[in-house]
Copies of this chain bind each other. A is one copy, B any other.
Amino acid sequence: MAIDLRHGDDVADLVARTEALVRDTVVPLEERHGGVIASVGEEGRVELQRAAADAGVLAPHAPREYGGHGLGMCDRAPVFEAAGYSLFGPLALNIAAPDEGNVHLLAEVATPEQKERYLAPLATGRVRSCFAMTEPAPGAGSDPSALTTSATRVPGGWRIDGHKWFITGADGAGFAICMARTSGTPGDRGGATMFLVDAENPGMRVVRHVETLDQSMIGGHCEVRFDDCVVGDDAVLGAVDEGFTYAQVRLGPARTTHCMRWLGIGRRAQDLAVGYVAERKVFGARLAELGMVQQLIADNEIDIEASRALVTRACWELDQGRSAAQLTSIAKTFVAEAVWRIVDRAVQLCGALGVSHDILLSRYLREVRAFRIYDGPSEVHRWAIARRVVKRHSH
């Protein structure tokens, strides 16, 4: 037994085919649409996923029995990174948030019937989904215990009432996984439960798209209201009052796959910038020969390698069946900030071109910024990381 960092041939093959698809099909589409997903729309999504299916790379994460490749976390890393090389790549492979995380959650927690109804179509992109947890202030955000959306017992089921926002992909989703309080009161933890709510349910309504810096998430970041939203008992995902636990089940891998995808954009930004400075001359020299330029390039490369190495560590822990809360928090915090630095340096390397829309760097800067906030702001992760360190020390 010894340390091994080599991927299997099957994974290497998936990576190569993903790279080809991204290069030949996805990037051209992304460039045509300036990286704005709304401009592509649902038809674009279907087309992209058909191309991925044709290339044999659709749904690398989904269980084999639902049409996926069944990859574990370590094996996903290079495939997701290859897909993430374009803003549209994850959508093409059907591994974009929040669907990717929902597939994982459903595979872990859903009943056989729920799997048939929700997981099966979701796995290969026949339907989209959303995860309705975050609430506007003073509701659930960094502090899940502030959850105000409630689900109360009614004959044969539950009635959900509440107000959510930043619900990614809600507009056009076939169903939502909605987190609602089923015991306790906002501010104490109490119990939350996850519910599967069909888009057709008249009690669920997309109020508006919250316009944001980032624009590469299909279905937008939506404000959603649940008013008198009645669902049956079979809508309960997992056990009643266990929602907070399931959220953790979902979050560890979800934040790690975020890292993989964004690392792809980090590499793309570096490639764009290096391509520019390798050609552009100023003061008689190629930009790439100037020391301050080399420093930016080198710092990008260091950030890329450190990010990838941390992701591998976190993945391996997850693959061992551990919670990996500390390592996934560390990876998320580091990678979110590293990718931000990388894209920012790439913009700087390209000067005025970098802030123009003539290349995609300024788009990436916009997309990447939110990663330091979504899935837990860096400050909340640091708080959790430090608490675990101190706790470990006290033992």
Could you tell me which A residues sit within 8 Å of B by CB distance? 1-9, 72, 74-75, 134, 137-138, 141-143, 145-146, 165-166, 187, 210-214, 221, 270-271, 274-275, 277-278, 280-284, 288, 290-295, 297-299, 301-302, 305-306, 308-310, 312-313, 315-316, 326-327, 330, 333-334, 347-348, 351-358, 362, 365-366, 369-370, 372-374, 377-379, 381-383, 385-387, 389-390, 393-394
Contacts and interface: CB of A to CB of B under 8 A. Distances in A.
A212 B351 CA distance: 12
B389 A297 contact: yes
Given A4-B2, A312-B309, A298 B382 contact: yes
B379 A348 contact: yes
B214 A355 contact: yes
Contact of A278 (B6, B316, B358, B393): B393
A291 B138 CA distance: 20
Contacts of A277: 390
A266 to B, nearest CB: 13
A3 B312 contact: yes
A312 B305 CA distance: 12
A210 B358 contact: yes
A313 B277 CA distance: 28
A212 B355 contact: yes
A7 B3 CA distance: 6
Contact of A313 (B145, B309, B370): B309
A7 B5 CA distance: 12
